Chains A and B, each alone.
Chain A
Amino acid sequence: QLQLQESGPGLVKPSETLSLTCTVSGGSISSSDSYWGWIRQPPGKGLEWIGTMFYSGSTYYNPSLKSRVTMSVDTSKNQFSLKLTSVTAADTAVYYCARVPLYSGSFGKSWFGPWGQGTLVTVSS
């Protein structure tokens, strides 16, 4: 069964770059029926979509974060990654990666499942 696992630093200094990796197991990141996405959840708050990508490199970002976000994929390692630049305390959150089912005409827009367990990233000096 498909499983996803986030990894990366749990503490990032303000103005620096947050970098996370999601490792996919039990399936191929190069699957033609899947996108791959990042979602975050500030402590005690709701969910915010960050971005979605296809293994070929097509990316779809939340316009509110687009200027600071880069997603990339490493098919040889079955991993995809997130970089968020110029972080502030407002970027403190649990970051989740997830599979995003692809359907005809979806262009990155779909539901999320399954999700990784999430990783808490705190922005603090």
Chain B
Amino acid sequence: DIVMTQSPDSLAVSLGERATINCKSSQSVLYSSNNKNSLAWYQQKPGQPPKVLIYWASTRESGVPDRFSGSGSGTDFTLTISSLQAEDVAVYYCQQYYSSPLTFGQGTRLEIK
């Protein structure tokens, strides 16, 4: 199984500041057929289901604000929120879909400082 490890486990950032969450996979998730990384990011607010933000490591889902961006390749990935808004308080998960079983990171809790 591919193990997904996120860092940090929790993060407090001031409003308007940049938030960065990291995700590391235990093996490469680069899909050779399209040269894209099989990595998605989700946002889960309290009492709600997860919502996909990013797929193929850097493709923003329709309707997701452009302050959210994804980057990285191979085994190391980053979700960046360029200017934190109050509504961004949530738990964020990464997920690999390169191989079965599909696996998620343990989650990163983002709070306002």
Contacts and interface: CB of A to CB of B under 8 A. Distances in A.
A116 B50 CA distance: 9
Contacts of B7: none
A13 interface: no
Interface in B22-60: 31, 33-34, 38, 40, 42, 48-52, 55
Contacts of A105: 31, 33
Contact of A47 (B31, B48, B50, B52): B50
Contacts of A101: 55
B61 interface: yes
B49 A49 contact: no
Interface in B85-113: 93, 95, 97-107
Contacts of A63: 100-101
Contacts, number: 62
Nearest to A109: B97
Contacts of A60: 100
Nearest to A97: B49
A108 B38 CA distance: 13
Contacts of B107: 46-47
A106 B75 CA distance: 20
Given A46-B93, A109-B97, A109-B99, A115 B104 contact: no
Interface in A33-73: 46-49, 52, 60, 62-64
7 smallest beta-carbon distances between A and B, as pairs: A113-B52, A111-B40, A115-B49, A49-B102, A47-B104, A62-B101, A111-B55
Interface of A: 46-49, 52, 60, 62-64, 96, 98, 101, 104-106, 108-118
Given A105-B31, A112-B50, A115-B51, 20 more contacts: A46-B93, A46-B106, A47-B95, A49-B104, A62-B101, A63-B101, A96-B49, A96-B50, A104-B34, A106-B97, A109-B97, A109-B99, A109-B100, A111-B52, A112-B95, A113-B52, A114-B52, A116-B49, A117-B48, A118-B49
12 contacts: A47-B50, A49-B104, A104-B34, A106-B97, A108-B100, A111-B55, A111-B97, A112-B42, A112-B95, A113-B61, A117-B49, A118-B49
